[in-house]
């Protein structure tokens, strides 16, 4: 697989591996799945012919085989088979082992975002995943779905009816409850209007909607964040429903003495809005404006995440030892001003010297330092980029994203996503964590590997999603002032 060969021979090898999948020996099937997973990037069409056999391996009782078959099935999803493959994966999600549910759910959501044929299909797919495995989805699933629904104006009535029906049946899946509460609060007036052509007739009364949100507030399964969504939805319904608001005011006033500080603060603010600023309530609680999803950037990011592994595997990228990573993290703690110094690499080991003698790719010498760049600062949260260009691969740029927090409250559920133009190749490594501790605690770092074969000026688009002081924050911005040393 790592040796150059004729395309016909590779196709022959793929077909032989496909026959291995029918073998009764589990070890042979596992080796075949692993080999096909390595070949799927270079010979996607050849591996695609064995998709039914790969999907059949998802039903194998062996956990290792099942996991490898899931990875290969997700890699085989493309625009032509996304409907069929998503249906197979959703069926697998309903009965898969618990330790695979998170990977399967995340894979389905990513495939839907990359290859969704229509917005309605995209929304239906996410809703089914949230209904089946809502507690196992990624933290950004709620924000992504609300953004998707908000940007699809023609599907507002359809979405709010689907979500209301799902919420009425099950209030245990917290991400689903949060999205449903947000959607009911935004588009509750559409829920009470006449039937929607795209859904079954649904007659809903105002009292039923309020009773459902109260049920969410009172449920012992509801998280504080979920209760916050429900409380805000009730408040927004006070401007969208035509009936009396006394019931809503009573519920809001109850939470003015809630033990949860965030809920108490919201309830006090909403009570004040009722008492002192009732004339402004309709304007303050009007519908959120349409959100531009920036689909081209999302598509670029998804395409790059699929294509870049093989390109980067072909380049001699030195791997940092664990000790070096630890030293880098400790070095980041020396200061919180934003000017983080890159720790020099350790001396070559005897193994490295042996590699030199054998004339094989080896760890290059330390390149000239590139100045760090602060790209984001808000309420104590800072984002700093540091750069390294390995000497052996001048087209490769390693960017370390460092998030520090000097505020009084922790930043939780922190997610950093990136996108670059199509002429670049981007690979996002897993972050060191998703919580940035307050008061200058241990920072969160994430590595970006960018391949720039044309040495074009680099433009980077970042999307940050996190919770800070009880509020969900999402920031999307471009970084156009990268140092020239990063691409020249």
Non-local (6+) Cβ contacts of 334 within 8 A are 341
Task: Tell me the CA end-to-end span of the chain in Å, nearest whole number.
Answer: 33
Residues in the chain: 488
Residue 340 structure tokens:
């983080």
Least Cα distance to 315 among 445, 432, 460, 452 occurs for 452
Q: Give 223-280 pLDDT, tens digit per residue.
A: 999 999 999 999 999 988 887 788 898 888 888 888 888 889 989 999 998 888 888 8
In whole angstroms, what is the distance from residue 45 CA to residue 36 CA? 12
- Helix boundaries (H) for 315-342: 322-332
Provide the 8-state DSSP code for 446. Answer: E
Residue 450 structure tokens:
């960018």
As a whole number, the mean pLDDT across the chain is 80
The answer to whether 486 and 400 have CB atoms below 8 angstroms apart is: no
Q: What average pLDDT does this structure show over 47-67? A: 89
Element containing residue 76 per DSSP (H, E): none
Q: Give 369-398 pLDDT, tens digit per residue.
A: 888 999 999 889 999 999 988 887 878 889
- Which pLDDT belongs to residue 195? 59
Look up the pTM and report it: 0.57
In whole angstroms, what is the distance from residue 103 CA to residue 68 CA? 11
Least Cα distance to 145 among 474, 481, 419 occurs for 474
Non-local (6+) Cβ contacts of 186 within 8 A are 150, 156, 160, 236, 287, 288
Task: State the pLDDT confidence band at 133, using cuts at 50, 70 and 90.
Answer: confident
User: Range with the lowest mean pLDDT among 29-43, 287-301, 347-361, 471-485?
Assistant: 347-361
DSSP 199-257: S------HHHHHHHHHHHHH-TT--HHHHHHHHHHHHHHTTT-SS-SHHHHHHHHHGGG
- Extended strands (E) in 348-451: 370-378, 381-388, 396-405, 411-419, 425-428, 444-451
- Which pLDDT belongs to residue 197? 59
In whole angstroms, what is the distance from residue 215 CA to residue 209 CA? 10
- Which pLDDT belongs to residue 198? 61
In whole angstroms, what is the distance from residue 136 CA to residue 105 CA? 7
- Which pLDDT belongs to residue 340? 41
Non-local (6+) Cβ contacts of 230 within 8 A are 177, 181, 213, 216, 217, 222
* Parallel/antiparallel/unpaired status of strands 370-378 and 396-405: unpaired
- Which pLDDT belongs to residue 336? 39
Place of tokens 């799945």: 33
List residues bridging with 446 in a β-sheet: 401
Identify the three-state secondary structure at position 400: strand
> Rounded to 5, what percent of the chain is helix, strand, coil?
50, 15, 35
The residue that leads in pLDDT, 104 or 368, is 104
The answer to whether 396 and 317 have CB atoms below 8 angstroms apart is: yes
Non-local (6+) Cβ contacts of 53 within 8 A are 18, 21, 22
User: Range with the lowest mean pLDDT among 53-67, 359-373, 429-443?
Assistant: 359-373
Going across the sheet that includes 444-451, the strands are 370-378, 381-388, 396-405, 444-451, 425-428
In whole angstroms, what is the distance from residue 273 CA to residue 266 CA? 10
- Which pLDDT belongs to residue 291? 56
* Parallel/antiparallel/unpaired status of strands 381-388 and 411-419: unpaired
- Which pLDDT belongs to residue 367? 55
φ, ψ of residue 382 in degrees (nearest 5): -120, 145
pLDDT at 350 over 70: no
In whole angstroms, what is the distance from residue 200 CA to residue 220 CA? 31
The answer to whether 390 and 320 have CB atoms below 8 angstroms apart is: no
In whole angstroms, what is the distance from residue 197 CA to residue 465 CA? 35
Q: Give 267-304 pLDDT, tens digit per residue.
A: 999 999 888 888 888 888 888 776 555 444 444 444 44
- Which pLDDT belongs to residue 126? 92
In whole angstroms, what is the distance from residue 93 CA to residue 248 CA? 38
């Amino acid at each position: 697989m790592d040796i150059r060969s004729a395309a016909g021979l590779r196709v022959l090898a793929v077909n032989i591996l496909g026959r291995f999948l029918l073998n009764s020996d589990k070890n042979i099937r596992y080796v075949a799945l692993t080999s096909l997973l390595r070949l799927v990037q270079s010979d996607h069409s050849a591996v695609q012919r064995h998709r039914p056999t790969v999907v059949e391996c998802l039903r194998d009782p062996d956990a290792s085989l099942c996991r490898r078959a899931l990875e290969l099935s997700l890699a085989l999803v493309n625009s032509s088979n996304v409907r069929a493959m998503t249906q197979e994966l959703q069926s697998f999600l309903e009965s898969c082992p618990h330790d695979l549910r998170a990977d399967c759910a995340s894979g389905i959501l990513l495939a839907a975002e990359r290859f969704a044929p229509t917005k309605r299909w995209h929304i239906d797919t996410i809703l089914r995943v949230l209904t089946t495995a809502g507690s196992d989805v990624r933290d950004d699933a709620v924000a992504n779905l609300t953004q998707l629904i908000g940007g699809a104006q023609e599907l507002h009535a359809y979405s709010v009816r689907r979500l209301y029906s799902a919420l009425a049946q099950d209030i245990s899946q917290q991400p689903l409850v949060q999205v449903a509460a947000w959607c009911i609060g935004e588009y509750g007036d559409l829920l009470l209007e006449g039937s929607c052509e795209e859904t079954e007739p649904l007659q809903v009364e105002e009292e039923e909607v309020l009773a459902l949100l109260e049920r969410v507030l009172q449920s012992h399964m509801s998280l504080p964040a979920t209760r916050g969504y429900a409380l805000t939805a009730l408040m927004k319904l006070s401007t969208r429903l035509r009936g009396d608001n006394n019931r809503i005011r009573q519920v809001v006033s109850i939470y003015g003495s809630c033990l949860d500080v965030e809920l108490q603060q919201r309830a006090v603010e909403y009570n004040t809005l009722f008492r002192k600023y009732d004339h402004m309530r309709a304007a303050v609680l009007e519908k959120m404006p349409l959100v531009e999803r920036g689909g081209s950037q999302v598509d670029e990011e998804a395409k790059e995440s699929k294509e870049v592994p093989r390109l980067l595997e072909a380049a001699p990228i030195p791997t940092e030892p664990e000790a070096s990573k630890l030293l880098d993290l400790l070095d980041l703690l020396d200061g919180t001003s934003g000017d983080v110094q890159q720790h020099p690499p350790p001396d070559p080991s005897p193994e490295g010297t042996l590699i030199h003698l054998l004339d094989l790719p080896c760890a290059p010498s330390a390149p000239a330092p590139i100045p760090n760049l602060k790209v984001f600062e808000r309420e104590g949260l800072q984002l700093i980029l540091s750069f390294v260009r390995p000497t052996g691969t001048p087209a490769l740029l390693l960017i370390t994203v460092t998030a520090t927090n000097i505020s009084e409250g922790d930043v939780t559920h922190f997610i950093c996503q990136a996108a670059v133009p199509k002429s670049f190749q981007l690979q996002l490594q897993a972050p060191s964590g998703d919580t940035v501790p307050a008061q200058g605690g241990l920072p969160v770092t994430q590595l970006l590997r960018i391949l720039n074969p044309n040495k074009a000026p680099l433009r980077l688009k970042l999307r940050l999603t996190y919770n800070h002081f009880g509020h969900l924050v999402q920031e999307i911005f471009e970084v156009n002032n990268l140092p020239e040393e990063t691409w020249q």
